Chain A
Amino acid sequence: NAGVMQNPRHLVRRRGQEARLRCSPMKGHSHVYWYRQLPEEGLKFMVYLQKENIIDESGMPKERFSAEFPKEGPSILRIQQVVRGDSAAYFCASSPGTENTEAFFGQGTRLTVV
């Protein structure tokens, strides 16, 4: 059973471009979470999704950021018009349920905005 797969592992974008980060959850997992890790900091929750639904987006910046988890295919975190402050590691986690379950994390996507 493959783990949580994130791609790309490293992404370089110029200021003003769009960044698309993909996350394929573990097989059988229908809950996906996105976290951001800034340098020298812990992980900060961004958004929680189930198939075709956003459950909790309380950690998402109000502008330029969006996330989806379609019925088919990976979850996508999209950052429009990137700025230098968006440079960070973005981690995806998945779990099979909500109670008494643990989340499994991917290797992360390291976004660098130049």
Chain B
Amino acid sequence: AQSVTQPDIHITVSEGASLELRCNYSYGATPYLFWYVQSPGQGLQLLLKYFSGDTLVQGIKGFEAEFKRSQSSFNLRKPSVHWSDAAEYFCAAGGRGGGNKLTFGTGTQLKVEL
């Protein structure tokens, strides 16, 4: 069965520190991969996506993610976190040919300490 795992439910970092959020997927073939951010009571905003090609993907707000086929991972990184980055982050995967029928991870809640 297709699945996306985000092993960290909560992460706390200090402002200015680096950040890495983990995401592992289990799919029959290499899926499309996405990271979304959700602020409380809001919808989802796309941070970045991987369809094919370069395995290091740049996104908005200074985020990047690296696709590692050998590890079935798509970890999200940011070199220096800002207080406004506090939110919930979701990793999602979609099967090629399946449109945007996405399987989401359970999310990682990021808290930023000033």
Hey, which bits of chain A sit against chain B, CB under 8 A?
Answer: 4, 31, 33, 35, 41-45, 48, 55-56, 91, 93, 95, 97-108, 110
Pick the residue among A44, A95, A106 that contacts B43 (CB under 8 A): A106
Given contacts A42-B90, A91-B43, A91-B44, is CB(A103)–CB(B107) below 8 Å?
A: no
What residues on B are CB-neighbors of A4 within 8 Å?
43
Number of contacting residues on B, CB 8 A? 26
Hey, which bits of chain B sit against chain A, CB under 8 A?
Answer: 32, 34, 36, 41-46, 49, 51-52, 90, 92, 96-107
When the two chains form their complex, are residues A95 and B105 in contact, meaning their CB atoms are under 8 A apart? no
What residues on B are CB-neighbors of A35 within 8 Å?
102, 104
Q: How far is B98's CA from A99's CA once the two chains are assembled, in angstroms?
A: 8
Q: How far is B70's CA from A43's CA once the two chains are assembled, in angstroms?
A: 26
What residues on A are CB-neighbors of B34 within 8 Å?
102
